[in-house]
Structure 1
Amino acid sequence: MVDSFHFYCIYHLINMKSSLTLLCLVVWVNVDASSAQTVCTGPLPNVPNAGVTEESIKEEYKEGAILLFSCNFGFVSAGRTSYLCEKQKWVVLRQGKCKPKPCELPEETANGHYTIHHGDDFVFGAVLKYTCNDGYQMVSKTDIRTCMVAGWSNHLPICEVVSCVPEATDGRVVVSGLPDDGGLIQYGHELRFSCPNPEHQLEGNPQVFCAAGGMWNSRFPTCEDVTCEALERINHVNVIGVPQNNNTMKYGHRLQFECSNPRHVLKGESEVVCSTNGQWSHSFPMCDEPKDFCGPPPHLINGDTVNRAREHYLNGESVNYVCQKYYILDSTLSHKTCRDGIWIGPMTCLKPCTVDEELMNAQNIQFKYPPDTNKLYATHGDHITFKCSGNSRLSPGSVGLRQECINGVMNLPHCQ
């Protein structure tokens, strides 16, 4: 309590003398001291990751009031935090901290790993992202886990081995490398494709492997009919054998040529055959006026003339040819003859087939009758018999163990 005084003045009118008298009184009173106390105004202190406790919330904070703080959801206290109202300001009594609630060390998933996607430690709010190793794929609905108050959210993601399902193929294609027991085709497994029939050619990649996501790196190839296209009309040359309604011809189709002018001579081969890879066996010929001599004899691929060639040859002269080692002459004749200024006599050197240890290891096969060296050259028309290595067996869909060399091409069997 404090003492204070107040002045009270009373006006009194005296009728008799018509005068005005002013009476003033001094009154002493006691006033309550609480009405004079100070209060803390303005915003409350800002404590990171914390808020004022419910019991500390008031409409007015007077001198000496204490403000208590508690940590927000997901945070734990590292010391109590409180403030004191003193001289209209908030003064720190205790300065604690609110730290994010930690989670246990996260589990590793088999065949995968995790990285911190959000945050920098294993505490409340941190997000982990799980990734599968190469050859494995995520089968869980979600690949993330978040540190919550109760621990890590979601179940541990699961990574399973990647597997691919073979595409359907027709009977023309031979597929090597399929599992013998029909089991899963795992990531990285390779399949090989071939067309054993020389009338067909492979369209697409000859090798396809199981890639990420259980998808093949390429579509399976197909075996399509070998076709050769007819060239544009050749001046002064009649072509015999071109289909009327189709400009493409299948493997083995033959075209014959003759000069439309009987006085001209045919320069080139009089017959060509549609062969492997859709190529004609020889260039198309031309017709021209006859000459009484020929120039140097034409070059024979994989072969050469027996004697050194001259610059000029008279009509009727011949030149003998020989193929390189392991190549076989595909002709009843071994020479070309100069006739009316051109060299005549179809001639081809058929290619050999080469089989070595590296190729056979890839197919898991061996020679049934081993040669003296690890590399075998088989001439055109020769046969080679193989056997499966170790306890392996011939793969389903593979070609047989006895194969023929056809102009440099030999389909190797595959064992597994």
Structure 2
Amino acid sequence: MFYSFHFYCIYHLINMKSSLTLLCLVVWVNVDASSAQTVCRGPLPNVPNARVTEESVKEEYKEDDIVLFSCNFGFVPAGRISYQCKKNKWVVLRQGKCKPKPCELPDETANGHYNIHAGDDFVFGAAIKYTCNDGYQMVSKMDIRTCMVSGWSNHLPICEVVSCVPEATDGRVVVSGLPDDDGVIQYGHELRFSCPNPAHQLKGNPQVVCAAGGMWNSRFPTCEDVTCEAAEKIKNVNVIGIPQNNTMKYGHRLQFECSNSKHVLKGESEVTCSTNGQWSHSFPVCDEPKDFCGPPPHLMNGDTMGGTRERYRNGESVHYECQKYYILDPPSAYKTCRDGIWTRLITCLKPCTVDEQLMNTHNIQFKYPPEHQNKLYAEHNDHITFKCTGQHRLSPANVDFRQQCINGFMNLPHCQ
């Protein structure tokens, strides 16, 4: 309510002869203030992460009206926030802020760690991602936790040790490194593979490692039949023994002869498909005859009987013998000088060595132990019979107790 005044002037004529008299009055009038008051129009102040309280919402805001703000969901106030209508404008009364609601420090998980996945701090809306250490794998469905109003979402992820399951193998492959009693194969554990039969060769990696995710770093290898390839046609040489399907496995023999009767065979007249798909000797050639040979060739694990010379005539022979425990094949073997080339294939077959340390790894011992020996040398084709030690029993699907030595190799039974 405020007051205003008005002037009222009256002209009064006293008489015709007299002058006019001016009479003025001042009148004070009450005026309603609402008809002249200022109003704040337009949008309300924009406060980040805050909204106007319900009790402050009006259709029209007049002079000196106050608007209060409250923080949005997930945010907490840092001081009160209010504005006042002054001369058609909003003026700050209290300039607080709405900050994201903080979460407690996240829990650590055993055998793992976390990193901030979204956001910059442990506050509302931020997310963290858990990762397992090397050698461990996540068994929880969720690896991300988000800071909510009530705290961190989801359960604490769990990291368990990585383990691998062995792949099935056929009876040809020997696997070493498997834990006893079907124990757990953990991350980083290595298995080794071999083909004990010389007629087989390993196809694939000989070592396989348990890697991340419980997966092997490579597929298990297999033992495939050893095969040798026939050489291309050799000039002046006839090859005997090539099968129709051209597949020559371990132990297959090829023989050679000269197609020209006046030529002589230089090299071995017979070769054998041996380990790794290689022929035992280079293929021979046929050439015109020569009268002399040089010194006789060296024999692995053997030597010539008697002395040797630097020169031998065509047709002369040299006899060989093997070292102790090695068997000459063929027996009483010799090489003959034929047109400048020493002919005939000779081999010293290897013995098998079985000692106490090796048997302990298989939980076996000799059934008929040798006298005063902890080590036994078995010659090629010899048999040895074993038995389990203590209360151990022969492992299922294992080899028999009685085994034969074949050119340095013998399968050993395993007891558990």
For these two proteins, the number of residue pairs brought into alignment is 397
- CA pair 68-358 structure 1, distance change in 2 beyond 3 A: farther
Map 1:341-380; keep pairs closer than 5 Å. 341-350=340-349
Distance 1:157 1:391 in 2: 44
Distance 1:6 1:270 in 2: 150
Name the counterpart of 1:35: 35
Name the counterpart of 2:135: 135
- CA pair 95-341 structure 1, distance change in 2 beyond 3 A: same
- CA pair 173-91 structure 1, distance change in 2 beyond 3 A: same
Distance 1:356 1:117 in 2: 59
Name the counterpart of 2:3: 2
Q: Does the 8 Å contact 2:320/2:332 carry over to 1? A: no
Query: What do the CA deviations read for 1:7-35 (whole angstroms, capped 9, x no partner)?
Result: 9xxxxxxxxxxxxxxxxxx9986543333
Map 1:70-81; keep pairs closer than 5 Å. 70-81=70-81
* CA-CA distance at 1:284 after TM superposition: 1.4
Name the counterpart of 2:201: 201
Distance 2:108 2:73 in 1: 28
* CA-CA distance at 1:73 after TM superposition: 0.5
Map 1:282-297; keep pairs closer than 5 Å. 282-295=281-294, 297=296
Distance 1:161 1:92 in 2: 59
Name the counterpart of 1:51: 51
Name the counterpart of 1:122: 122
Name the counterpart of 2:14: none
Query: What do the CA deviations read for 1:349-377 (whole angstroms, capped 9, x no partner)?
Result: 5567788999899x57798789x9x9999
One-letter identity of the residue aligned with 1:193? F
Q: Does the 8 Å contact 2:364/2:413 carry over to 1? A: no
* CA-CA distance at 1:99 after TM superposition: 2.1
Query: What do the CA deviations read for 1:72-108 (whole angstroms, capped 9, x no partner)?
Result: 1001122211122233333322222222222233333
Moved more, 277-286 or 183-192: 183-192
One-letter identity of the residue aligned with 1:222? T
Q: TM-score normalized by structure 2? A: 0.76
* CA-CA distance at 1:127 after TM superposition: 1.0
One-letter identity of the residue aligned with 1:278? G
Q: Does the 8 Å contact 1:68/1:81 carry over to 2? A: yes
Name the counterpart of 2:221: 221
Distance 1:108 1:390 in 2: 48
2:298 counterpart of 1:279: no
Name the counterpart of 2:147: 147
Higher relative contact order (CA 8 A, sep 6+): 1
* CA-CA distance at 1:271 after TM superposition: 1.2
Distance 2:413 2:286 in 1: 47
Map 1:241-390; keep pairs closer than 5 Å. 241-244=241-244, 246-295=245-294, 297-298=296-297, 300=299, 310=310, 312-318=311-317, 330-333=329-332, 336-350=335-349
SS at match of 1:96: strand
One-letter identity of the residue aligned with 2:260? N
Q: Does the 8 Å contact 2:125/2:147 carry over to 1? A: yes
SS at match of 1:208: strand
* CA-CA distance at 1:399 after TM superposition: 5.3
Distance 1:113 1:376 in 2: 55
- CA pair 345-125 structure 1, distance change in 2 beyond 3 A: same
Q: Does the 8 Å contact 1:238/1:260 carry over to 2? A: yes
Distance 1:112 1:390 in 2: 44
- CA pair 203-399 structure 1, distance change in 2 beyond 3 A: farther
Distance 2:112 2:93 in 1: 50
> Which runs of no fewer than 5 residues in structure 1 stay unpaired?
8-25
Query: What do the CA deviations read for 1:260-308 (whole angstroms, capped 9, x no partner)?
Result: 2222111111111222222221111111111122345445556777867
Name the counterpart of 2:62: 62
Distance 1:232 1:302 in 2: 32
Q: Does the 8 Å contact 2:199/2:275 carry over to 1? A: yes
SS at match of 2:276: helix
* CA-CA distance at 1:388 after TM superposition: 8.5
* CA-CA distance at 1:242 after TM superposition: 1.2
- CA pair 114-226 structure 1, distance change in 2 beyond 3 A: same
- CA pair 349-220 structure 1, distance change in 2 beyond 3 A: same
One-letter identity of the residue aligned with 1:259? C
Name the counterpart of 1:17: none
Name the counterpart of 1:232: 232
One-letter identity of the residue aligned with 1:95? Q
Tell me the percent identity: 80
* CA-CA distance at 1:237 after TM superposition: 1.5
Query: What do the CA deviations read for 1:105-135 (whole angstroms, capped 9, x no partner)?
Result: 3333344332221223322112121222333
Distance 2:282 2:252 in 1: 15
SS at match of 1:277: helix
One-letter identity of the residue aligned with 1:46? N
* CA-CA distance at 1:142 after TM superposition: 1.7
Q: CA RMSD in A?
A: 4.1
Q: Does the 8 Å contact 1:174/1:399 carry over to 2? A: no
